[in-house]
């Protein structure tokens, strides 16, 4: 739930930072992407906030790194989109969602 709220805050460019917990070193932000904040097996909390060029992570009171559309950070995997046609809006392919495995066969990894 916190990740959905954080994604809404970031996507909307809202002022307050969004607090999120990360597990196994990652936090998934629906409609935005997957952010790697640590090594596999690590857990913690971070504050995410919108910036003019994308988003930033704040931990222990200091900005650690920026991520998002223009950041080019290897720790950031944005949600991919599919363009169904020239006049159609893009469709988000939520292939990073850790809870998307609801079928008999597991989904392929990205």
Largest CA distance in the chain: 45
Report the distance separating Cα 57 and Cα 10, nearest Å.
11
Residue pLDDT, tens place only, 42-69? 998 999 999 888 888 888 777 777 887 6
Helix (H, G, I), strand (E, B) or coil at 48: strand
Q: Are 88 and 82 in contact (CB under 8 A)?
A: no
Tokens 């930072």 found at: 17
Residue 14 covered by a domain? yes
Residue 16 covered by a domain? yes
**pLDDT band for position 5 (50/70/90)?**
very high
Residue 110 covered by a domain? no
**pLDDT band for position 70 (50/70/90)?**
low
Residue 28 covered by a domain? yes
Residue 68's Cβ-count burial label (10 Å; 0-12, 13-18, 19+) is: buried
Residue 20 covered by a domain? yes
Q: What is the DSSP letter of 4?
A: H
Domain count, the chain: 1
| pLDDT (average), residues 62-85 | 81
Report which of 85, 93, 88 is spatially closest to residue 110, judged by C-alpha positions: 93
Residue 84 covered by a domain? no
**pTM of structure:** 0.80
Residue 47 covered by a domain? yes
């Amino acid at each position: 739930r916190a990740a959905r709220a954080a994604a809404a805050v970031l996507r909307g460019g809202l002022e307050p930072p969004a607090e999120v917990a990360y597990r196994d070193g990652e936090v998934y932000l629906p409609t935005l992407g997957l952010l790697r904040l640590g090594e596999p097996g690590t857990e913690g909390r971070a504050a995410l906030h919108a910036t003019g060029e994308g988003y930033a992570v704040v931990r222990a009171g200091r900005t650690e790194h920026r991520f998002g559309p223009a950041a080019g950070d290897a720790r950031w995997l944005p949600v991919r989109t599919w363009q169904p046609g020239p006049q159609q809006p893009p469709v988000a392919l939520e292939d990073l969602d850790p809870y998307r495995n609801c079928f008999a066969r597991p989904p392929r990894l990205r």
